Amino acid sequence: MNTSRSPLGQTLLEIFRQGPAGPLDDDRFNALALQAFRHQFERNEPYRRFCERRGIVPERVERWEDVPAVPTAAFKEAALVCGPGDAAQAVFRTSGTTQGSERRGTHYVLDLALYRESALSAFRAHLLPDGARLPFLILAPSPERAPDSSLSRMFEWVRAECGAPGSGWFVSFLAGLHVDELVQALGRSESERVPALIAGTAFAFVYLFDALAARSLRFRLPEGSRVMETGGLKGRVREITKAELYEGFAQVLGIPDHFCVGEYGMTEMCSQFYEDVLRARAPGLETGPGGPRRMCPPRWVRTLVVDPDTLRPLPQQRPGLLRHFDLANLNSVSALQTDDLGLGVAAGFQVLGRARGAEARGCSIALDEWLTATR
């Protein structure tokens, strides 16, 4: 279903192609957001029932902030898609088991074009602001091995469009981390003085550091090498801090802090957020200490920090739950209420971690409303 060919879809594609920075003033964003809400209200039946139970219909909504936000846990309960799920070009699932309270959230993506353009545009701007073309060493399974992973699909797009020869995948479900092959790739980068981009989840890097320590190996990758880490600092066995992770990048790989870019995304969302530590230094990527790290929304996304109890917006520097409105989610639900804790800062936000149950009372109430409306 090529909904990206609709007038609204074509408008969004053009915005995505122009890059995540630049002008998209509040009035234009609001107009596009209300068009997306009407589209979703008309075509996404579970979402429409949720809105109607709250007495909210498109004719009564004037601001994107007033569009009902669906708790991300609702993606475990219903097919939130603007059409038949079996028409989806891709079906992405969250991590977890497939039964009981831990059943996996499912995001049906009718048209991959919007997701692809959003992902490529933001990645280029934040990881390749100097226009470099580097070998990508990807610490994740390929889409063939993980077809329901949105992260693997995104990595494949950026590898195919932006990666240089020597790019490859270094994780599989059966073998885990491909340590021998990765050691060879890192050694080539170091000896041939060819910068590389290494991308993966935070704990994939922890496993890499452990494997290299067991072999008494460290690398000093050439200047211009960089890291993209997707967060997830709490593992099943142990927890590390971001400072410890970034110390590992410097000590084990020789990649300094200001060439390490954090990414924040979720299966239920077609856009990603990146720290702007590299983009702020383009085009020369000058070295030196940067300002405080923050996640920067692309211009087609708006993020609010809301009170955990009332779900009402909070001022900057007040921690709360993150709520996103993503225009790239045109064919599912754009307004997403997460249970991630965050702090609003100038031109972005900082991620503080996952909320405990007591910290997300508002999300529990919203999910209860969702279940009542859709059942």
pLDDT digits (tens, 9 = 90+) for 109-161: 999 999 999 999 999 999 999 999 999 999 999 999 999 999 999 999 999 99
Q: Indicate the angle between helix axes 202-214 and 179-192, nearest 10 degrees.
A: 80
Q: Tens digits of per-residue pLDDT, 60-92?
A: 999 999 999 999 999 999 999 999 999 999 999
Measure the CA angle with vertex 37, ends 325 and 314; round to 5°: 35
Q: Cis link prior to 46 (omega < 30° from 0)? A: no
**CA 78 to CA 46: how far, in whole Å?**
7
Q: Are 60 and 37 in contact (CB under 8 A)?
A: no
**Residue 266 within a domain:** yes
Phi, psi of 193 (to 5 degrees): 60, 45
Left if phi > 0, otherwise alpha if psi is -120 to 50, otherwise beta: which for 325?
beta
Q: pLDDT of the chain along its 375 residues, tens only?
A: 566 679 999 999 999 999 998 889 999 999 999 999 999 999 999 999 999 999 999 999 999 999 999 999 999 999 999 999 999 999 999 986 444 445 789 999 999 999 999 999 999 999 999 999 999 999 999 999 999 999 999 999 999 999 999 999 999 877 789 999 999 999 999 999 999 999 999 989 999 999 999 999 999 999 999 999 998 766 555 678 899 999 999 999 999 999 999 999 999 999 999 999 998 875 555 544 455 789 999 999 999 999 999 999 999 889 999 999 999 999 999 999 999 999 999 889 999 988 876 455 554 555 555 556 655
**Residue 58 within a domain:** no
The whole-number pLDDT of residue 1 equals: 56
Measure the CA angle with vertex 138, ends 137 and 141; round to 5°: 145
Residue (of 120, 55, 65) closest to 313 by Cα position: 65
Burial environment of residue 242 by CB neighbours within 10 A (0 to 12, 13 to 18, 19 or more) = middle
Phi, psi of 324 (to 5 degrees): -120, 145
Residue (of 287, 151, 295) closest to 226 by Cα position: 287
Q: How many CB atoms lie within 10 A of CB 4?
A: 21
**Residue 234 within a domain:** yes
Q: Domain of 129?
A: 113-296
**Residue 162 within a domain:** yes
**Residue 351 within a domain:** no
DSSP tag of 282: T
**Residue 17 within a domain:** no
**CA 200 to CA 142: how far, in whole Å?**
12
**Residue 176 within a domain:** yes
Q: Specify the residue for token string 């890097």.
A: 205
The whole-number pLDDT of residue 99 equals: 45
Domain of residue 227, CATH code: 3.40.50.980
**CA 309 to CA 253: how far, in whole Å?**
43
Domains held by the chain: number? 1
**Residue 43 within a domain:** no
